[in-house]
A = this chain, B = another copy of it.
């Protein structure tokens, strides 16, 4: 059917009835799934919080990290089926449906992520949330005997639900699910189903009493006039553009380093359970060398007021010049050598720390640059500039929305075509 014919057909044959029934169907399908995902994410966040705080009280747990790595390896080898492919498996299943996402992925990734954090591995949460969302969605889809096309949509809503709930950012969750699948494109084909899922999962997660960390950018230049004519600070704009370039390169380095560590350790270490064991040992060694535990685990906050954390990066002097690099290295080793969790929260850390450093050297406001790094390194490593602009808005408010877009869009270009998800396709090349 030609495009023109299709357009006419759609226009003439009761399209509103089709659309209404489509939306009702997806609302009925997505709501129970999203409540399940939101609840599981709430449980995950609660457990994660317990594990992180337990480790703060018992820093010696780090020395068990190599053993924890072997345990995680064992769990995935004996129980995992193909669960260890993680986010990439879900994305592959959306592009080209195969064997499906196993249900065991959800409990496995939940438990192993908590283990990773309990023993100090540097990792995040979004990978876990997306995998919980994807495998719960697949489980529902199987029970409901959905068609292949519907399973694809349902997996996308699962990603949206997981992402929206884990960060408390429902719009970002929906746009992320649409934008991450292929580099350079957002397809609106599941816009409302994804959004419904993301909102419901977020509401559910919040209803369980989960609170998300509040980040604040106090900087606001509203109403100022520069050089007599500009309502925008051109000098600050140039600093933000420079920041965008560096954030993009940081995302690029992270993606390349993770892939390289993964490939080399798989090639050169024949005994596979040794990979996470050695990875754990490297994390311990790095910690001893730089003499701080600040770059372990999630890093959102830290009971030690002098420690470097994402929150400290929003204050001037809250990070050292190399904080961003250490967090990047710790995370690339942790995730590249078999531990579990997401990449996104560490990317927030890398970005916020790098932003703090750029602010210190250029005289830009620390909170603004930290916030921009927070979203832009993530935008660059996952190739999702529009979702990350929304994330800035949902987390920090709209006062500086122009700078969010400048930083995210610029960083997107400077990350090249690699990205952290190898299942992400290239829809539109960047040049």
Quick one: CB contact mask for A371-413 with B, threshold 8 Å, 1 for yes? 0000000000000011001000110011101100110011011
Distance to closest chain B CB from A351 (angstroms): 19
Report the stretch among A296-304, A305-313, A422-430 that lies at the interface: A422-430
Identify which of A184, A405, A406, A413 gathers the most chain B CB atoms within 10 Å of its CB: A405
Interface bin, chain A = 35 or more
A23 touching B186 in the complex, CB below 8 Å, given contacts A207-B229, A230-B203: no
Quick one: CB contact mask for A8-28 with B, threshold 8 Å, 1 for yes? 001100011011001100000
Report the stretch among A191-199, A335-343, A358-366 that lies at the interface: A191-199
In the complex, which of the residues B3, B191, B431 contacts A412, with contact meaning CB atoms closer than 8 Å? B191
Contact between chains at A15 and B416 (CB < 8 Å): yes
In the complex, which of the residues B15, B199, B401, B429 contacts A398, with contact meaning CB atoms closer than 8 Å? B401
Distance to closest chain B CB from A425 (angstroms): 7
A199 and B403 CA atoms in complex are apart in Å by: 11
A416 touching B16 in the complex, CB below 8 Å, given contacts A185-B188, A232-B203: yes
Interface positions, chain A 180-232, Cβ under 8 Å from B, are: 183-189, 191-192, 195, 199, 203, 206-207, 209, 229-232
In the complex, which of the residues B16, B191, B427 contacts A414, with contact meaning CB atoms closer than 8 Å? B16
Interface positions, chain A 130-177, Cβ under 8 Å from B, are: 170-171, 174-175
CB nearest to A405 among chain B residues? B171
Contact between chains at B184 and A414 (CB < 8 Å): no
A270 and B401 CA atoms in complex are apart in Å by: 51
Contacting residues, chain B, for A15 (C-beta < 8 A): 416-417, 430-431
Let me know if A91 is at the binding interface, CB within 8 A. no
Distance to closest chain B CB from A178 (angstroms): 9
Let me know if A418 is at the binding interface, CB within 8 A. yes
Contacting residues, chain B, for A185 (C-beta < 8 A): 185-188
Distance to closest chain B CB from A188 (angstroms): 4
Distance to closest chain B CB from A223 (angstroms): 11
Contact between chains at B431 and A18 (CB < 8 Å): yes
Contact between chains at A426 and B7 (CB < 8 Å): yes
A406 and B389 CA atoms in complex are apart in Å by: 18
Q: In the complex, given contacts A11-B418, A206-B229, what are 8 additional A-B residue pairs having Cβ atoms less than 8 angstroms apart?
A: A16-B252, A16-B414, A19-B413, A170-B402, A191-B385, A192-B410, A394-B398, A394-B401
